[in-house]
Amino acid sequence: MNTLTVPAKEGHLVLGSSEDALTVCVLDDEQSMVEMLQESLRCLGFNSIGTSDPQHALDMVDQGRVRVVMSDIKMPGMDGLQFLEQALHHDPGVYVILMTGYYSLDNAIAAIKRGAYDYIPKPVDRSRLKKSLDELSDSFRRRKRIRNLESQLLNDQEFHGIVGRSPAMIEVFEMVRKVARHYTNILLIGATGVGKELIAKSIHQMSPVSQQRFAVCNCSAMVDTLLESQLFGHMRGSFTGATDTRPGLFEYANGGAVFLDEVGETSLPMQAKLLRVIQNREIQRVGSPEVRKVDVRLIAATNRDLRAEVLAGRFREDLFYRLSTIQIRVPSLSERLDDIPLLIQYFLKKYNDAYSKQIQGLTRRAQAVLLQHGWPGNVRELENVISCACLTSVNEFIDVDDLPENLQKPSGRDGNSKDTWRPLPLEEIRRQHIRRVLDACEGNRVRAAQLLGIGRTSLYRFLKRSEKKPVGTTPV
C-alpha cells in the first residue's frame, strides 16, 4: 500500500530515533537461573536486567526500559504464556522469548502463534540463544535503517511545512509554485482542516513580497462592524469604544499579503467593500472620508461552494469572479489516503518533541483504524488524534486503546458499513452526524454549521432541543 509501512514481521509504523543497544530482561522464578542467563548474555555482548517477578518485568516493558524479555514458562502466579499475553497487551512492540524445560515442537508452534518471538529449550544452549538474539539485533538494525530512510523521505516530501506526497497534493504544490510569483488574488477552496491556511502561508513565502507582512483575518469570527474596523481600521470616536485611531490589516500588511479566511461568510455590504479593495486597491478607515491606496496581495479561502452561493444570491458575482481568477482546490484527506502515513510520522515527531516523549510509531492495527476512518475534520482531526495519543500513551507504540473512542469502533468510511448498519430513525442519524461534525470541529459551532450547510441559528436550536429531549425523539 505504501513504502512507509515497515517490516512485515513487526508490522509497526516506526519513527526515527536512536537505537539503543539491545537490553534483555531475564525473567525466571529461580534466582540462580536468572544469574546464569545474565552471565551468558554478558558473554554474548548483550545488556541485561534480571528479575523473578513477572509484574516487575511487565513494569519494565511498560516503561519502555526493555524491548526483549526472556521468560521461563513454569512460574508460580503468572506463567510464561500469561506473561506473553500481558506483555503484548502492554506493548505490542515487545519481543518475548519463552524458555522451557519441557520443549515440544507443537508447544513451540503454539507459543509463536500466540506472539512469542522464539521458544527455546532449557538448559539454554548459548549458541542457540546467540543465534536468536543476533537475528533480533539484525532486525532492529534493519528497522533503524528504514527509519532513517523514512525521515529522509519525510524531509523530501515536505513543501514549506506542508506534508504530502499524494498526486492530488503534488498538483497543489505545483500550482502554488507556478502562481506564487505572479498572483494578486487567489482563492483557496477546500473543506475545514485541509490546510488552506498553511497553503496561503506557503504562497506568501514563495512570493516576491515574502519579506513583507502576511496578515490573517478570519471573516466568520466577527460581526460586520468589528470586521470592517479590523480590515480597514478606524478613526478615534468613530464608534463607541473607538478610543484611538487605528490602521486596519490592509494598511498593516501594505506591500505584503492579506489572508481572508472564510470569505464566504461575509455579508453583502462587506463584500462590496472588499470588491473596492480588489478593484482599486483603495480603503477608507471607518469614520474617515480619506481614501488610502494600499498595495496588497489577497489570498481568500472558503469551504463553501461560492458558485452556489452566488446563485443563491448570498455572494456577489463580481467579487467571486475577481477573487477566483486563480483557484486552488485543496483536496480532503479522504481523497488522499496516501498522505496519511506520512502525516502520522510528521505529527508523531512534532508531538514527541513537544511533549518530550519517545513514541516510536503505531501498531499495525492502530494504523489500520486510522486508514479506515473517514476524517470529516481532515488533517486537523488527524493532528488532534496523534497529539492526544502521544500525550496519553505510555507505550513505545501507539495502539488502538490510545485512539479516541469514536475511532476504536470504526464505522467504515461511509459510516454505514454492512456490519454496523442498523435501521435507525432519520432523526438519530441526523443527531449522530451533527455530533460527529461537532467533534471534528472541536465543538466550534460556527464551523460545524458551515460544514453541515445549515445556519448557525438552526444548529443552536437543534442543540438546545436535543439537550432537553431524549435522544431519537427530537423533532428538528
Residues 6+ apart with CB under 8 A from 44: 126, 129, 130, 133
Q: Show contacts with Mg ion in window 228-267 (CB under 5 A).
A: 261
Amino acid at 334: S
What whole-number distance in Å separates Cα of residue 2 and Cα of residue 139? 20
Q: Show contacts with ligand ATP in window 410-439 (CB under 6 A).
A: none
Give one word for 415, left, alpha or beta, with left for phi > 0 and alpha for psi -120 to 50.
Answer: left
CA distance between the termini of the chain: 43
Give one word for 330, left, alpha or beta, with left for phi > 0 and alpha for psi -120 to 50.
Answer: beta
DSSP labels, 411-454: --TTS--GGG-----HHHHHHHHHHHHHHHTTT-HHHHHHHHTS
Q: Show contacts with Mg ion in window 181-210 (CB under 5 A).
A: 197
Amino acid at 170: I
- Using Cβ positions, the residue closest to Mg ion within the complex turns out to be 197
277 lies in the binding site for ligand ATP (CB under 6 A):
no
- Using Cβ positions, the residue closest to ligand ATP within the complex turns out to be 195
Q: How far is the CB of 437 from ligand ATP (least distance, A)?
A: 12
- 214 interface partner picked from ligand ATP, Mg ion, none, CB below 5 to 8 A per type: none
Give one word for 287, left, alpha or beta, with left for phi > 0 and alpha for psi -120 to 50.
Answer: left
Nearest residue (CB) to Mg ion, 72 versus 261: 261
Nearest residue (CB) to ligand ATP, 316 versus 380: 380
Q: Which of 99, 163, 189, 434 binds ligand ATP (CB under 6 A)?
A: 163
Give the DSSP letter of residue 114. Answer: T
CB atoms near residue 197 (< 10 Å): 16
Q: How many residues does the chain have?
A: 476
Beta bridge partners of 299: 186, 259
93 lies in the binding site for ligand ATP (CB under 6 A):
no
- 303 interface partner picked from Mg ion, ligand ATP, none, CB below 5 to 8 A per type: ligand ATP
What whole-number distance in Å separates Cα of residue 213 and Cα of residue 202? 13
Q: Show contacts with Mg ion in window 6-35 (CB under 5 A).
A: none
Nearest residue (CB) to ligand ATP, 150 versus 383: 383
Q: Show contacts with ligand ATP in window 196-215 (CB under 6 A).
A: 196-198
Contact (CB, 8 A) for 117 and 97: yes
164 lies in the binding site for ligand ATP (CB under 6 A):
yes
What whole-number distance in Å separates Cα of residue 90 and Cα of residue 341? 23
Q: Is the dihedral of CA 99, 105, 108, 110 positive or negative?
A: negative
- Give the interface segment with ligand ATP, choosing from 172-180, 187-195, 221-229, 352-360 (CB under 6 A): 187-195
Q: How far is the CB of 216 from Mg ion (least distance, A)?
A: 9
Q: Which of 12, 316, 373, 380 binds ligand ATP (CB under 6 A)?
A: 380
Q: Which of 25, 194, 217, 263 binds ligand ATP (CB under 6 A)?
A: 194
Q: How far is the CB of 260 from Mg ion (least distance, A)?
A: 10
Q: Show contacts with ligand ATP in window 329-348 (CB under 6 A).
A: 343, 346
Contact code string over 35-74 relative to Mg ion, x by CB under 5 A? ----------------------------------------
Nearest residue (CB) to Mg ion, 88 versus 446: 446
Note the residues at the interface with Mg ion (CB under 5 A): 197, 261
Note the residues at the interface with ligand ATP (CB under 6 A): 162-164, 190, 192-198, 261, 303, 343, 346, 379-380, 383, 447
